[in-house]
Structure 1
Amino acid sequence: MNASLPAVAIIGTGSMGGAILAGLRAPGVRLPGLRATTRSEASAAALRANGVEARATEHDSAANTWAVSDAGLVLLGVKPAQITTVLAELAPSLRPDALVVSVAAGITTAAMEDVVPNPVVRAMPNTPALIGRGVTGIAGGARATAAHLALADDLFRTVGTVVELPEAQIDALSTISGSGPAYVFLLIEELTRAAEAMGFEPDVAALLVQQTFSGAALLLEATGEEPAELRRRVTSPKGTTERAIAVLQEAQLATVFERAARAAQERARELAAGA
C-alpha cells in the first residue's frame, strides 16, 4: 500500500480506530503527523510506547482538541451516541479544511454537518481491517467533494478494500460486510459443534472447520469463480455433499439471511434516531 495523507487525528482508538491506526503506520504510508486519543491513560501509554503521539481524555480534558488542532483528516472512532457531543467539543479547534470521517453506525452525515461546518464522510469498515483485509463502504456528505472522497478512500485502503456508495446504502452495507464477519463466525461455531457431536475432539474439530472456511474463502478469491460454481464442483450427483446441501436448503437459508440483514438494518435506523 502506497499512500500520501495529511496529518491525521484519531479520536477514540478502540478496535476499529486501533486497526486504522495500525494501517496508517504500515510501510508505504506517508503522513506528516499522527495523533490519537483514548479514554484511559493505560491505553494512551501503550500507544506512546509504540511511538504514537497519544493522550488520554480521563487525564487531559483538552486531549481531543489537541489531537485535531493541526490535522487535515480527523477520524472519529467513538461510539455512535458520542459522535455529536465529541464533534461539538472539536468544532472550535478543527481546521476549516479538515475532513471529518466517522465510522459510527447509524449516524448520518447530515447529523454531523449540523454540528460542524467541515466536509464529512461516513464510513463503515469491518473487523478484518485488523489484519488489513477489511471492506469499507464510504459515503460523502453534502460538503464532501470528489477530492474528499478520494482522501477517505486512501485512508481506508491502508486496511483493505473500499467501496464508494450513496449514503442511503451505508446502513444496508453495514448489515452485509459490517456484520458479516459475525455471521461467518456463527457458522464456524455451529459446524464445529456438529463435528464434536460426530466424535471429533474439540481441538481437531476447530482445526478442521477453521481451515475449511479459510481454504474455501482463499479458493474463491484465487479462482474468481462464482460461489455457486465452486459449490457445484464439490457437490457430486447423488453424493454425500448433495444430501447435506439438501438439508441446509430445507432450512430456507436465503430467507433466514435476508431476515437477519433486515433486522440489522432496522437497528441501524434506531441508532440514527437515538434509540
Structure 2
Amino acid sequence: MNETTRPAESDPLPRTAMIGVGSMGGAILAGLRAPGVRIDGPIAVTTRSLASAEQFAGAEDVVAFASESDPEANRRAVRGARLVILGVKPWMIADAVREIADALEPGAIVVSVAAGVPSAAIEALVPAGISVVRAMPNTPSHLGLGATGVAPGASADAAAVDTVRRLFETVGIVLVVHEDQINDVAAVSGSGPAYLFLYAEEMTAAAARLGFDEDQARRLVLQTIVGAAELMRSTGEDPARLRRNVTSPKGTTERAIAVLQDAGWGALFDRALAANVQRSEELERGE
C-alpha cells in the first residue's frame, strides 16, 4: 500500500469528463475546481436533467450536457477527454461504458467509483489501450477531507495510477492498493463515516437519557468527536496511547471502557467489516 497526501504543486491534470455528477461526483468536481488545482481545459460533465446542467451556466471551468435533452450527452462529454470518471450507480456502469466506448480518446483513463464492479467488467467493454482504474472515495471528500483507495485494473500502468492518484488528492488522502483490497478499503473508509455517525447517534441518545435536552446532547457529542479526532490528527499519537492518557487507573473512564471492552468491540468490528466485504463480493457476482 502507498498512502499519499495532496501535493503543494503538480503538473496539470489532463482534460477530464465526468459521467454523472451525483453526491460523490459532486465532491470530486468540487475538488477539481478548488483554488490551486490545475487542469487542462474545462471539465465536461453530464447530468440527467436540464435543471441540473443549468447550475453550471456561465461557468468558465465546466461545460455541462444534459441527457434529458441530448441523447449524445455522454458521448459528447468524453470526446477529447484523457480522464473519464464514471459517477453513475453500479447497476448503470455497464450501459454507460457501452454507450461511450467508441467515443473514448485512445489511451484515455476510465475511473470507476462504483462499488462491486470489477475493473475486468469495464475492461471487457472498452477498446484496447484504455486504462481502467477503480477508486473508493468517501463522503468527507465533500470537505477536502476524504480518504480514497485507488486500485489499477490489468490495463492500467503506473502513469495512469499516478494520474488518478493526483485526481483524488484534490479531495483528501489517497491509498494505492491492489484491486483485491479495494473492498477492504470500502469496508473501512468508504463506509467508515456511517459507523462514526452511528456512534454519534447512540451517544447522543444515551446523553439524552441522562437528562440533557436534545441540543445539549448533540453539542456535547459533536464537540467531543471533533476535538478527539483533531487531537489524534494533530498529535499523530496512536489511538491506544491517547485512550490510555484519558483513562486514569481506577477512575470513571476506566470503568466505562471496561464495559465497552467486555462487550467485545474487537470481534464486533471484525464481523461488521467482514459483512461489508461480503456484500461487495456479492455485488461483484451480480447478487
TM-score, normalised to structure 2's length? 0.94
Give the 5 Å matches for 1:18-57: 18-31=26-39, 32-48=41-57, 50-51=59-60, 52-57=62-67
Separation of aligned partners in 2, 1:33 and 1:148 = 20
Deviations 1:199-237 (A, max 9, x none): 111111111101100110100011111000000010011
Separation of aligned partners in 2, 1:186 and 1:168 = 28
Residue type matched to 1:37 in 2?
T
Separation of aligned partners in 1, 2:49 and 2:241 = 50
Give the 5 Å matches for 1:89-100: 89-100=99-110
Separation of aligned partners in 2, 1:137 and 1:24 = 18
Match of 1:223 in 2: 235
1:58 to 64, 68, 81: 68
SS of the equivalent of 1:37 reads strand
Separation of aligned partners in 2, 1:50 and 1:208 = 41
Give percent identity, aligned residues only: 55
* 1:13 equivalenced with 2:21 (yes/no): yes
* 1:2 equivalenced with 2:9 (yes/no): yes
SS of the equivalent of 2:149 reads strand
Separation of aligned partners in 1, 2:51 and 2:103 = 26
SS of the equivalent of 1:139 reads strand
Deviations 1:154-204 (A, max 9, x none): 100000000000100001110000000000000000000011111111111
* 1:132 equivalenced with 2:132 (yes/no): no
Deviations 1:6-43 (A, max 9, x none): 11001110011100000000111111221101112211
Q: 103-112 vs 31-40, which deviates more?
A: 31-40
Give the 5 Å matches for 1:1-275: 1-3=8-10, 4-31=12-39, 32-48=41-57, 50-51=59-60, 52-117=62-127, 118-275=130-287
Asked whether the 8 Å contact 1:6–1:33 carries over to 2, the reply is no
- Which ranges of structure 2 fall in alignment gaps of 5 or more residues? 1-7
Asked whether the 8 Å contact 1:81–1:274 carries over to 2, the reply is no
Deviations 1:91-148 (A, max 9, x none): 0100011100000001111111000031100000000000000000011111111100
* Length, aligned pairs only: 275
The alignment yields a C-alpha RMSD, in angstroms, of 1.0
TM-score, normalised to structure 1's length? 0.98
Residue type matched to 2:54 in 1?
A
Q: CA deviation at 1:46?
A: 1.4
Residue type matched to 2:26 in 1?
G
